[in-house]
Structure formats: C-alpha cells, structure tokens
Amino acid sequence: MPLVKAKIRFGHSPDPDDAFMFWAIAHDKIDTAGITFTHIVEDIESLNRRAFKAELEATAVSVYTLFQVADKYAVMPCGASVGDNYGPVLVANNPIYAKELSNKRIAIPGLNTTAYLTLRMFLPDFKEVVVPFDKILDAVKAGDVDAGLIIHEGQLTYKTLGFHKVADLGEWFYEMTKLPLPLGVDVLRKSLGRDVMRKVTKLFRVSIEAALENRQEALEYAMKFGRGIPPETADAFVGMYVNDYTVDMGKKVRDGLKLLQQAAVEHGILKEAKKVEFVEM
C-alpha cells in the first residue's frame, strides 16, 4: 500500500482545549508518517471566515459555519467541542430575566459562531454587537452593551468577576432536546480525497487520546494558551470540552447536530440544510 502524503495546514483557536488536543502532534509524540502539519492559530471567528473560502486543508469551525460550508468540508468524528447540558452563557451586570433583553444590545463573539446561532433561537429579538470573545465581559462591565454571550474560559470565570447568569444556552438546548449541544467541530477539505482525510482523522484521534493519557504534560502545554487563567481553571475548561465526545462524537452528538441544523432552518436563520458528511473511519 503506497504511503499517503500530504501537507496539512490545520487551523485551531488559541484556547487550552484545542492546544491540549494538539499536544502530541506539536511535540512529535506520534509518527505522522507522510503527513506534515502546520499550525494556524487564530480565533474561531477568523477560522470561520477562512472556511467560507475553503482556505485551509483542515480547520476547527463553529457548527453554525459548518452548516454553511458543508459542501466544501467533511466533519472528522473526533475533535468536537460539545456542551453536555452546558454551553455559551448569557450574562449581565445585574440579575435580569432573559425576556427583558428583547431589543437590547447583546455582545456576541461573532456572526458565524454557534453561540450566536443558539442565542438567535433562544431570544429572536435582540441587537447583536460583535465583540472579540475575550473583550465581551469588559463591554458588559462598561455598560457598552446590556448583556454579553460568553464562550471559552469566561464560562467558568464570570461569577467570580461579579457577573450574573441570565441563561446557559447549553442547558436550554438540553432541556428542549435531551441532547448535547455541538458547538465546534474539526473539518477536512473534501478535495483532499478519501485516503488523506482518513489518515489525518486517524492521526488527530491518536493525538487526542495521547493527550488524555498524558494529561498533566499536555495540560502544561495547553496552559500557554490560557490567557493567564490559573491551572485549575484551565484543567476544568479542558475537562469540559475534551472528553469522550471529543474522541468520538457518537450518535448523540450527531443527532444534536442534525436537530440544531433543522431548528436553524425552521427559525429562518439558515436558508437550507446542506448535507453534512463525516469522514468514515
């Protein structure tokens, strides 16, 4: 059998969970025979925009973006960020009911994020204000917006910083569906061909498994991407988004993904439900 070779530019966000998954590849802990990886580290909204142009061979994308680029990319069954009865958190300076935020200004981390999609279904009438995800709490605190939609480690730190939870969209999705909320996935450009896609997926899964088996070492590497958060917060955050679903998303996550896509179409947010294809191992 001939050696499968490819140069893969892999886009991922500068977050502890993504870095944790790539620890083994970044440190040559596994043999990537024939596959050369180059890491493209950018915030998720930048990667989403790249995906619309199919710039990268492999990339993390928001599930909302996946729904729009499914003709160009196939989903790897590993690497998914899944909220199992938790997810993006809507916060405000003071206790407030969600319905009181109708027609109010809410900071969101990007128009192509799953957080925005889910909020648009949860609260159809609000005025979105796009703010870099790590500046949203600042915008809320300053009163520039009436509330903010928090992703990444902000989900764990907002309480200690004095903010109040209005709603957890992962909890809301679970209450509605009894399914986990798929937030982000890793995808491969279909033009790579079946053999390359399968090999890259296998290597990525091995990298994730290696990190879970060498958690402390992988976590020390991931901490470099933690924006100054303490080790226990980084550990908790990685635990939320690198788990069994990340090794293999399985039927529940696929069902959640399909239901989320259908709901987005029914709410008039997506024009069509493009067929989502998975890299079959």
Write the pLDDT tens digit of every residue in 1-39.
Answer: 457 889 999 999 888 888 899 999 989 999 998 999 999
Where do the structural domains in the chain lie, given as residue ranges?
6-82+181-266, 89-177
pTM, to two decimals: 0.93
Query: Pick from 169, 46, 147, 160: which is nearest to 100 by CA?
Result: 147
Q: Let me know if 53 is exposed, middle or buried by CB neighbors in 10 A (0-12, 13-18, 19+).
A: exposed
Active site residues: 152
According to the model, what pLDDT value does residue 16 have?
A: 83
Give SS3 for 265.
helix
* Alpha carbon 217 to its chain's center: 23
Other beta carbons within 10 Å of 260: 24
Tens digit of each residue's pLDDT (9 = 90 or more) over 122-138: 999 999 999 998 899 99
The answer to whether residue 114 scores a pLDDT higher than 50 is yes
The mean pLDDT of the chain is: 93
- List Cβ neighbours of 216 (8 Å cut-off, separation of 6 or more): none
The answer to whether residue 113 scores a pLDDT higher than 70 is yes
Tens digit of each residue's pLDDT (9 = 90 or more) over 68-111: 999 999 999 999 999 999 999 999 999 999 999 999 999 999 99
According to the model, what pLDDT value does residue 227 have?
A: 66
Average pLDDT in the 163-182 region? 96
Local confidence band at 274 (pLDDT 50, 70, 90 cut-offs): very high
Identity (one letter) of the amino acid at 4? V
According to the model, what pLDDT value does residue 1 have?
A: 40
Local confidence band at 243 (pLDDT 50, 70, 90 cut-offs): confident
Element (H, E) at 197: helix 194-213
Tens digit of each residue's pLDDT (9 = 90 or more) over 190-242: 999 999 999 999 999 999 999 999 999 998 888 887 666 777 877 888 888 88
At the top level of CATH, the class of 89-177 is alpha beta
Please check whether residue 25 is in contact with residue 37, taking contact to mean a CB–CB distance below 8 angstroms: yes
Give SS3 for 273.
coil
Cα–Cα distance measured from residue 90 to residue 165, given in angstroms and rounded to the nearest whole number: 6
According to the model, what pLDDT value does residue 237 have?
A: 82
Cα–Cα distance measured from residue 110 to residue 81, given in angstroms and rounded to the nearest whole number: 17
Cα–Cα distance measured from residue 202 to residue 77, given in angstroms and rounded to the nearest whole number: 10
- List Cβ neighbours of 142 (8 Å cut-off, separation of 6 or more): none
Q: Let me know if 135 is exposed, middle or buried by CB neighbors in 10 A (0-12, 13-18, 19+).
A: middle
Give the up-direction half-sphere exposure of residue 77: CA atoms within 13 A in the CB hemisphere: 16
Q: Let me know if 222 is exposed, middle or buried by CB neighbors in 10 A (0-12, 13-18, 19+).
A: buried
According to the model, what pLDDT value does residue 134 have?
A: 86
Topology of domain 6-82+181-266, per CATH? Answer: D-Maltodextrin-Binding Protein; domain 2 (3.40.190)
Cα–Cα distance measured from residue 151 to residue 43, given in angstroms and rounded to the nearest whole number: 12
